[in-house]
Structure 1
Amino acid sequence: MSRVSVEIENHIAHVTLTRGDKMNALDPKMMQAIVEAGEGLMARDEVRVVLLSGEGKAFCAGLDIMSFGAMAGQDPESFLMPRTYGDANLFQQVAMVWRKLPMPVICALQGVAYGGGFQIALGADVRIAAPGTKLAVMEIKWGIVPDMGGMALLPHLTGSDVIRRLTYSAAPFEAEQALEWGLVTELAEDPVAAALALAEEIAEKSPSAIRAAKELIGFAEAHMGDQDAVLLEESRVQAGLIGKPHQMETIASNLQKRKPNFD
């Protein structure tokens, strides 16, 4: 049974979690499928934006605890400590692959995004949630800590006190509160439609500039506090864009009041 679908249309990759009957809960096969979907887009130059969503009534309910019962008798270091995806293990790559992609990722949320599902959403560049969507840093409920990239991603989005409150309590909170805390970008009655509209808007911009912008933002986050390095990187990235074909087409289309053609 397929757990993730990938369809590319008009330069937008629609990545959908397709275990809707289980609220898209994460079992080992689904985690592997999510990573493979993300990794498969790394070199797809024709893809300008990714729209990540979950079918059915929930984005992702987090780990399918029953399916991970087999791990109980294993040495946890054997499957957690090896860095099988660069700086990440499989669990972490399920969320981090979306941040590592060269193109923007927009995540549409509905129903619930708990635990691992919440951390997957954190890996996206933008999160659009339906009103009333419930989110949670759920791991403490099971006697563990967030370990799917959450601790690498959360500090860039909200304050330490908020992270501690959510982690220590494991209490669900709604999208409206998440918006105040900076954990979702905006609310929409139909988050998939809103995400698609934004994806279509981004897909009409210079592909090289959009990818450069994502890389530059990531650099600035990683070098926060090192102003000299960030200013130098701004200049380096800009020098690589000015006068190149995508920039010249952007200028021409603006002056001629037409849609750009980057193909």
Structure 2
Amino acid sequence: MSEPDRISCTVTDGVADVRLNRPDKLNALDPEMFRALVDTGLRLSEDSRVRAVVLSGEGRAFCAGLDFEALARFSEGSNTEDLVAERAIGPAKARGQQAAWVWAQLPVPVIAALHGVSYGGGLQIALGADIRLIAPDARMSVMEIKWGIVPDMTGTQLLPELVGRDLAKELTFTGRVVEGEEAAKTGLATRVEQNPRAAAMALAEEIAGKNPEAVREAKRLLDLAGRVDLDAGFAAEQDSIRALFGTPNQVEAVTANLEKRDPEFTDPA
């Protein structure tokens, strides 16, 4: 299978439908998958048509984590060039980190639709999404401890933010498997859906119908929360609201609401 086949990606009406496409291996991560994830995320970040992204997996799982054969090669110290990124993406310098972080740094909302398993690196990729919709019987695990290693794809930094430091430690120290309902209750997932991909697409379409500039600003502001002090966060809010007021899309939002019709927004330049 060629590298581009590792990921399928289509954009329709502002929604990017991104699917991990290695179903025979439960979408396990190999060097080609790492590269395809990063390349796809970077390409979408530069596409002004994109207003929301749905990230899912083909076949029976979202992502089973690192490919076992790849794990053996990495343990032997060979093919390490496959893990070296050509350039940094923000704070993410290793390719594995970038495969997860590239979704977090997208300027538009990313919704992960999780079914089957999301183990190890697969879980860390899901953590890069803004919203995670999970099937009732889906399973998630910080699986790295099983292989005698630690999460190294941004998970140690993003997981405590979602579930709290103590639960993040328990899950990381034990590799315990968490299923749909518990995942939603603890914050590991956003909510349970019988059909996560269909629900994610519906949510993405709803978001794509809002002012795209306001959605981008909202994501940027919310991602600042807890990462900057309140002075900086409050100032950023005021900068954003001043920048949005009076713009064509903001005026269209008000006009469409008053006229009780669907708005017609233009994509950011």
Q: TM-score per shorter chain, which class?
A: over 0.9
TM-score between the two structures when normalised by the length of structure 1: 0.95
2:143 maps to what in 1? Answer: 138
- Counterpart pick for 1:182 among 154, 165, 187: 187
Q: Which amino acid aligns with 1:256?
A: E
Q: Secondary structure at the match of 1:60?
A: coil
- Counterpart pick for 2:105 among 88, 100, 104: 100
1:48 maps to what in 2? Answer: 51
Report Cα offsets for 1:87-118 as digits up to 9, x if no partner. 21100011100000000000100010000000
Q: How does 1:187-198 map to 2 (within 5 A)?
A: 187-198=192-203
2:35 maps to what in 1? Answer: 32
Distance 1:180 1:76 in 2: 40
Q: Would you say how many aligned residue pairs link Structure 1 and Structure 2?
A: 261
2:114 maps to what in 1? Answer: 109
Segments ≥4 residues shifted beyond 6 Å = 75-83
Is residue 2:126 matched to residue 1:121? Answer: yes
Deviation at 1:202, TM superposition (A): 0.4
Q: Is the 8 A contact 2:135 2:194 kept in 1?
A: yes
Q: Is the 8 A contact 1:84 1:90 kept in 2?
A: no
Q: Is the 8 A contact 2:85 2:95 kept in 1?
A: no
Report Cα offsets for 1:166-221 as digits up to 9, x if no partner. 00001111011111111101111110110011011100000000000111111223
Q: Is the 8 A contact 2:74 2:80 kept in 1?
A: no
2:12 maps to what in 1? Answer: 9
Is residue 2:259 matched to residue 1:256? Answer: yes
Is residue 2:230 matched to residue 1:220? Answer: no
Distance 2:124 2:201 in 1: 21
Distance 1:79 1:200 in 2: 36
Is residue 2:245 matched to residue 1:242? Answer: yes
Distance 2:12 2:67 in 1: 31
Distance 2:23 2:76 in 1: 29
Report Cα offsets for 1:218-258 as digits up to 9, x if no partner. 122321xx111111111111111111111000001100111
Q: Is the 8 A contact 2:84 2:95 kept in 1?
A: no
Identity of aligned residues (%): 48
Deviation at 1:82, TM superposition (A): 7.2
Report Cα offsets for 1:27-59 as digits up to 9, x if no partner. 111111111111110111111000100011100
Provide structure 2 residue ranges, at least 5 long, that are not aligned to the other structure: none
Q: Is the 8 A contact 2:31 2:82 kept in 1?
A: no
Q: Which amino acid aligns with 2:68?
A: I
TM-score between the two structures when normalised by the length of structure 2: 0.93
Deviation at 1:132, TM superposition (A): 1.2
Q: How does 1:51-62 map to 2 (within 5 A)?
A: 51-62=54-65
Q: Secondary structure at the match of 2:54?
A: strand
Q: Which amino acid aligns with 1:210?
A: V
